[in-house]
């Protein structure tokens, strides 16, 4: 399969996310999909895509058997076919989608950030899926994630996806002498609270967009 561009990655990842977080509105209309792509929360980078750009990405992904189009009551709706199209188990696709939506993350961060899509038992189970994706044979499509080298001042190494190509290695910088890392348990709790708030805001944005779309 060819390398996906950033818009295609965002569209595919949003479809994976919304299937699990808002199943009542999945498959998504084009309007809802654009809203999900342009969310201000749980996205890195934040995008401002137009309908035409999202539609173009949908057409490309459909040609790769990664997206399925269906007729709704009033509008066309779109779902993903990532498991079959990428040849990956469903939970691997969940982790891959988070990497495409939020950028590089540690295994612990991935476990927190994917809670609404799937609650992994522990960080070790997340690492197991990541290791399998990183070691995938070329005959099966090759690796789709990579563990970057741990930078100075970081407690854990970060994972990145390869669906959009091989990312540039981050520059290694020395930590500031005045920097004091918070305890790991406090940091994990803070990240969990931030993720919860981001998810709540994202659901509000999604609901508002659906209301606006219904009134058009």
pLDDT band per the 50, 70, 90 thresholds, residue 121: very high
Judge if pTM exceeds 0.85.
Answer: no
Q: What is the chain's length?
A: 216
**Separation CA 33–CA 10 (nearest Å):** 10
pLDDT at 84: 97
Of 129, 66, 122, 63, which is closest to residue 96 (Cα–Cα)? 129
Count CB atoms within 10 A of the CB of residue 129.
21
What number is the average pLDDT over the span 83-97?
A: 97
Higher pLDDT among residues 215 and 89, named by residue: 89
Of 146-155, 157-166, 183-192, the poorest mean pLDDT is in 183-192
pLDDT at 1: 79
Convert the pLDDT of each residue in 42-67 to its tens digit.
999 999 999 999 999 999 999 999 99
Convert the pLDDT of each residue in 174-196 to its tens digit.
344 444 445 555 666 666 667 67
pLDDT at 129: 98
Which of helix, strand or coil describes residue 142?
coil
Count CB atoms within 10 A of the CB of residue 181.
11
Domains and CATH numbers, the chain: 6-85+199-214 (1.10.10.10), 88-167+181-195 (1.10.10.10)
pLDDT at 180: 44
């Amino acid at each position: 399969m060819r390398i996906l561009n950033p818009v295609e990655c965002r569209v595919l990842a949003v479809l994976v996310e919304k299937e699990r977080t808002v199943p009542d509105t999945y498959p998504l209309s084009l309007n809802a999909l654009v809203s999900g792509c342009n969310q201000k929360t749980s996205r890195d980078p934040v995008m401002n895509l137009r309908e035409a750009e999202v539609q173009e990405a949908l057409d490309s992904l459909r040609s790769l058997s990664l997206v399925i189009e269906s007729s709704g009551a009033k509008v066309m709706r779109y779902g993903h076919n990532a498991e079959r199209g990428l040849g990956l188990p469903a939970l691997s696709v969940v982790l891959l989608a988070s990497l495409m939506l939020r950028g590089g993350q540690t295994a612990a961060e991935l476990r927190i950030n994917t809670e609404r899509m799937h609650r992994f038992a522990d960080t070790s189970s997340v690492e197991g899926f990541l290791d399998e994706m990183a070691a995938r044979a070329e005959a099966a499509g090759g690796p789709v994630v990579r563990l970057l080298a741990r930078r100075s001042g970081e407690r854990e190494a970060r994972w990145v996806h390869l669906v959009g190509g091989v990312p540039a290695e981050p520059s290694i910088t020395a930590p500031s002498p005045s920097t004091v890392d918070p305890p790991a348990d406090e940091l994990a709790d803070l990240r969990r609270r931030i993720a919860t708030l981001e998810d709540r805001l994202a659901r509000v944005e999604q609901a508002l967009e659906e209301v606006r779309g219904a009134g058009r």
